[in-house]
Amino acid sequence: MLARPGMPSKSMVMRWLADERYIEFRDQYACAREDLADKLADEILQIADDGSNDTFLDANGNVKVNHDVIARARLQIDARKWLAAKLAPKKYGDGGRLENSGINHGSMQVKSTVTFVHPPNCDEDGEVSEDN
C-alpha cells in the first residue's frame, strides 16, 4: 500500500509511529495490524478446512495422498500463524512469554521494599516465648 502514488514512504510512517504528536495515528496503526492478524487467523481456518486437493486419482484409478499439497498448506498455515503472532502477540502469541508494559506500551517502573524483622524468641519446642 505504501508503494502507491501519493502514499507516504515507509520511513515516514515509522517516524509518525515514533512521534508522540501522532498518538491517534499510532492507535489506528495498531488496530489495523490487529485486524490483519484476525484476517490471517480466518485464512488459517480456511486453509486447514480445505481438503479438496489432499487426494487424487492416479492413472489406475487409485486414490493417492497428495503430500505436496498438504505440505504447502502446512507451510501456508505456519507462515500465517507466525505473522499473526508478530502482529498481535497478546492475542495470537504462544502465551509462553508474558510481557508487562506501561502507558502506551512503554516500560514500567517497579518499586519494591524489603523489610527485615527479627524473628520472635522461640523455646526448644518452637513455641514463641514471652522472654525478650
pLDDT at residue number 112: 75
The pLDDT-based confidence of 111 (bands split at 50, 70, 90) is confident
Q: Is the pLDDT higher at 29 or at 94?
A: 29
Please tell me the distance from the alpha carbon of residue 33 to that of residue 105, in angstroms, as a whole number: 15
Q: List the one residue out of 45, 3, 22 whose CA is nearest residue 30.
A: 22
Q: Spell out the domain ranges in the chain.
A: 10-105
May I ask the CATH architecture of the domain 10-105?
A: Orthogonal Bundle (1.10)
> Dihedral through CA 78, CA 81, CA 84, CA 90, nearest 10?
-140
Q: In the prediction, which pLDDT does 58 show?
A: 94
pLDDT in tens, 44-88: 999 999 999 999 999 999 999 999 999 999 999 999 999 999 999
pLDDT of amino acid 125? 67
**Integer-rounded Cα radius of gyration of the chain:** 28
CA distance 49 to 68: 17
pLDDT single digits (tens) 13-41: 999 999 999 999 999 999 999 999 999 99
Tally of CB atoms within 10 A around 113: 4
Whole-model pTM? Answer: 0.62
pLDDT at 103 over 90: no
What is the structure's pLDDT at 95?
72
Contacts of 50 (CB under 8 A, 6+ apart): 73
> What confidence score (pLDDT) does residue 101 get?
58
**Structure letter (DSSP) for residue 79:** H
Return the C-alpha cell found at 48.
486447514
